[in-house]
């Protein structure tokens, strides 16, 4: 039997939680995103994977320069996390059907 709580809507939205986590920043520095959600990667490797489409996460460049600060828009990170959660829930439900 499936746990009803596993598919219930979360009490807080992902964008709201990220807003609180990152102190209201609209664009989160790539180093922070890497540290908090991709700890197995360096910021450079995360940028390469995002540029190659291996990680579906748009990167915002503050200027046109390659050396400029880079970050991830809060809503894009929320969408990415929500999509990963949906994939995990689908896999969980397939494994635990009764």
Residue 85 covered by a domain: yes
Instruction: Provide the number of structural domains found in the chain.
Output: 1
Per-residue pLDDT of the chain (98 residues; tens, 9 = 90+): 344 445 566 688 999 999 999 999 999 999 999 999 999 999 999 999 999 999 999 999 999 888 899 999 999 999 999 999 999 999 999 998 85
DSSP string, 22-54: TTT-SEEEHHHHHHHH-TTS-HHHHHHHHHHTS
Residue 75 covered by a domain: yes
Residue 78 covered by a domain: yes
DSSP string, 63-77: SSSTTS-EEEEHHHH
Residue 66 covered by a domain: yes
Q: And the tokens for 74?
A: 């809060």
């Amino acid at each position: 039997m499936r746990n009803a709580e596993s598919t219930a809507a979360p009490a807080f939205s992902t964008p709201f939680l990220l807003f609180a986590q990152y102190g209201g920043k609209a664009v989160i520095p790539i180093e922070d995103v890497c540290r908090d959600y991709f700890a197995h990667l360096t910021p450079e490797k995360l940028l390469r994977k995002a540029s190659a489409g291996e990680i579906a996460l748009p990167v915002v460049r503050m200027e046109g320069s390659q050396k400029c600060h880079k970050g991830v828009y809060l809503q894009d990170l929320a969408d990415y996390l929500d999509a990963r959660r949906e994939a995990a829930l689908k896999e969980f439900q397939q494994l635990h059907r009764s």
